[in-house]
């Protein structure tokens, strides 16, 4: 078959790796200029690879396959160096959190680090591009997909026997275009995770960082909302993330360069019901309002004490931001965030402080907006020759799950 894959991210990598030694002719269309400017969002940003059946997406991925894919990425690093951890492997920690109402999440993870990722992506590309049946097309954004009988037409010109869409979350415009034409593809779209990025001195969470590197917990707050930690970065850095028309915060850490602070996201899962059907709109409006208060392309920074009492922060005390100075303004997040979200976050931090004293210190820092968008969950059996893999399908949210989704889709196609 002549197969087109749109996007060269984690899901595409899994797909191509599984299908590369078959007779299928594979064409990859990537909107980035070349491999150097190509961005597998997570792989470029931090590269924490998780092995878990409790997080990463809404599909079942065999643990052996997850581990195999982790090894695949590690093999592509220059010197095979990485940091490793296991969250809640020790019963003692599990019990400590459980006792205070938290749901600890089990996972193993392998941190490659932002600095090594360029090389990983490049060597994967080199490996694929030397194969006769694999054809890369850079600077080739796909704007339109038209399934017609046994073929699928891309951008009104190229036709393929099968098209696999792997555009991640950054490809939401293309997915929106497709579901505009075929709304029956959507199975679910009601969720958005809205919260803040929290930053505090390493020594407060030193023991947890040492023990498990990334601690992941969920907590049912007094507001009824589920709150969770996400993306912990020991000795890391806070960064901004640019979307088309707003800016959010994120965090990352490097293998070599270290700061003195740890940052992690505290996210509230907002699951709204009918007639609501636009979680991306909900999250974007709050992000834009936060940016409006902070000034163009900036985020709001506030101390925990001021956040609790809804006062604008004017001075910092012992904790200083790792985010570059021209990217934030000291302010009051409460002016942009719904009360129920702010209360959920405070309830979470106060309770976490019971397990990890110092987490609720007055001078710890909050950055907003931190938002995790979920793509619409799409049907993959509606068309025989048009499939969606990775984050754009709504089924995955991590590098390993997206890669595995691609791998499993290729396996199905090989069997056809």
Ligand X SMILES: Cc1cc2nc3c(=O)[nH]c(=O)nc-3n(C[C@H](O)[C@H](O)[C@H](O)COP(=O)(O)OP(=O)(O)OC[C@H]3O[C@@H](n4cnc5c(N)ncnc54)[C@H](O)[C@@H]3O)c2cc1C
Indicate the SS3 state at residue 231: strand
- Chain positions 238 to 257 lying near ligand X, rule: CB under 6 A, are 241, 250
Min separation Cβ 402 and ligand X, Å: 3
Q: Out of 5, 11, 162, 266, which residue is the one contacting ligand X (CB under 6 A)?
A: 11
Applying CB under 6 A, does 26 fall inside the site for ligand X?
no
Cis (ω within 30 of 0) for the bond into 369?
Answer: yes
Buried b (16+ CB within 10 A) or exposed e, 353-369: bebbeebbbebbbbbbb
CB 407 within 8 A of CB 15: yes
Applying CB under 6 A, does 163 fall inside the site for ligand X?
no
CB 343 within 8 A of CB 221: yes
Give the Cα separation of 38 and 28 in Å (integer): 13
- Chain positions 136 to 155 lying near ligand X, rule: CB under 6 A, are 141-142
Applying CB under 6 A, does 82 fall inside the site for ligand X?
no
Instruction: Report residue 160 as tokens.
Output: 């393929």
Q: Out of 397, 404, 410, 413, which residue is the one contacting ligand X (CB under 6 A)?
A: 397
Min separation Cβ 403 and ligand X, Å: 7
Of 31 and 377, which CB lies nearer to ligand X in the complex structure? 31
Applying CB under 6 A, does 61 fall inside the site for ligand X?
no
Give the Cα separation of 185 and 166 in Å (integer): 16
Q: Which residues contact 65 (CB under 8 A, 6 or more apart)?
A: 404, 407, 408
Min separation Cβ 224 and ligand X, Å: 27
Instruction: Report residue 240 as tokens.
Output: 């901004």
Helix (H) or strand (E) holding 68: helix 63-75
Check the CA dihedral 353-354-358-363 and report its sign: positive
Applying CB under 6 A, does 40 fall inside the site for ligand X?
yes
Of 34 and 75, which CB lies nearer to ligand X in the complex structure? 34
Q: Out of 22, 39, 86, 191, which residue is the one contacting ligand X (CB under 6 A)?
A: 39
Applying CB under 6 A, does 15 fall inside the site for ligand X?
no
- Chain positions 289 to 348 lying near ligand X, rule: CB under 6 A, are none
Applying CB under 6 A, does 45 fall inside the site for ligand X?
yes
Min separation Cβ 65 and ligand X, Å: 15
Q: Out of 154, 371, 402, 408, which residue is the one contacting ligand X (CB under 6 A)?
A: 402
Cα separation of the two ends of the chain: 10
Applying CB under 6 A, does 197 fall inside the site for ligand X?
no
Tell me the site size for ligand X, rule CB under 6 A: 40
Applying CB under 6 A, does 48 fall inside the site for ligand X?
yes
CB 5 within 8 A of CB 17: no
Helix (H) and strand (E) counts for the chain? 11, 23
Q: Out of 18, 27, 31, 228, which residue is the one contacting ligand X (CB under 6 A)?
A: 31
Applying CB under 6 A, does 52 fall inside the site for ligand X?
no
Q: Out of 41, 123, 151, 305, which residue is the one contacting ligand X (CB under 6 A)?
A: 41
Give the Cα separation of 51 and 63 in Å (integer): 7
Q: Out of 134, 166, 293, 333, which residue is the one contacting ligand X (CB under 6 A)?
A: 166
Stretch that binds ligand X, among 4-12, 120-128, 178-186, 318-326 (CB under 6 A): 4-12
Per residue, what are the HEC states of 218-262?
Answer: EEECCCCCEEEEEEEECCCEEEEEECCCCEEEEEECCCCCCCCEE
Of 242 and 274, which CB lies nearer to ligand X in the complex structure? 242
Instruction: Report residue 148 as tokens.
Output: 């017609």
Burial of 55 (0-12, 13-18, 19+ CB in 10 A): middle
Binding stretches for ligand X (CB under 6 A): 6-12, 29-32, 38-42, 45-48, 50, 141-142, 166-168, 170-171, 174, 241, 250, 390-392, 396-400, 402
């Amino acid at each position: 078959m002549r197969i087109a894959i749109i996007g060269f991210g984690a899901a595409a990598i899994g797909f191509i790796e599984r299908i590369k030694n078959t007779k299928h002719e594979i064409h990859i269309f990537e909107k980035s200029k070349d491999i150097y400017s190509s961005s597998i969002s997570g792989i470029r940003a931090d590269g924490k690879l998780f092995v878990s059946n409790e997080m990463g997406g809404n599909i079942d991925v065999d643990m052996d396959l997850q581990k195999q894919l982790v090894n695949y990425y590690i093999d592509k690093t220059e010197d095979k160096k990485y940091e490793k951890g296991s969250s809640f492997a020790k019963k003692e920690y599990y019990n400590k959190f459980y006792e205070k109402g938290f749901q600890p999440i089990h996972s193993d993870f392998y941190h490659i680090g932002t600095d090594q990722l360029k090389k990983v992506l490049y060597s994967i590309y080199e490996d694929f591009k030397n194969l006769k049946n694999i054809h890369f097309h850079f600077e080739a954004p796909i704007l339109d997909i038209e399934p017609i009988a046994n073929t699928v037409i891309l951008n009104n010109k190229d036709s393929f026997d099968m098209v696999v869409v792997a555009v991640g979350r950054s490809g939401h415009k293309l997915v929106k275009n497709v579901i505009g034409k075929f709304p029956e593809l959507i199975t679910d779209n009601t969720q958005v995770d809205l919260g803040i990025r929290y930053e505090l001195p390493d020594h407060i969470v030193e023991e947890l960082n040492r023990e498990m590197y990334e601690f992941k917990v969920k907590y049912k707050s007094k507001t009824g909302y589920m709150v969770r930690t996400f993306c912990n970065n020991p000795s890391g850095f806070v960064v901004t993330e640019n979307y088309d028309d707003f800016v959010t915060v994120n965090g990352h850490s490097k293998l070599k360069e270290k700061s003195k602070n740890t940052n992690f996201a505290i996210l509230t899962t907002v699951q709204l019901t009918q007639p609501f059907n636009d979680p991306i709109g909900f999250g974007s409006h709050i992000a834009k309002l936060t940016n409006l208060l902070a000034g163009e392309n900036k985020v709001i920074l506030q101390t925990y004490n001021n956040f609790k009492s809804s006062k604008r922060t004017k001075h910092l005390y012992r904790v200083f931001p790792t985010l570059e100075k021209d990217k934030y303004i000291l302010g009051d997040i409460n002016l942009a965030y719904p009360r129920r979200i702010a209360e959920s976050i405070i309830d979470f931090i106060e309770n976490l402080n019971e397990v990890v004293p110092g987490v609720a210190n007055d001078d710890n820092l909050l950055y907003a907006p931190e938002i995790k968008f979920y793509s619409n969950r799409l049907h993959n059996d509606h068309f025989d020759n048009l499939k969606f893999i990775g984050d754009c399908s709504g089924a995955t949210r991590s590098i390993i799950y997206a890669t595995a989704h691609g791998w499993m889709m290729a396996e199905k196609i090989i069997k056809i």
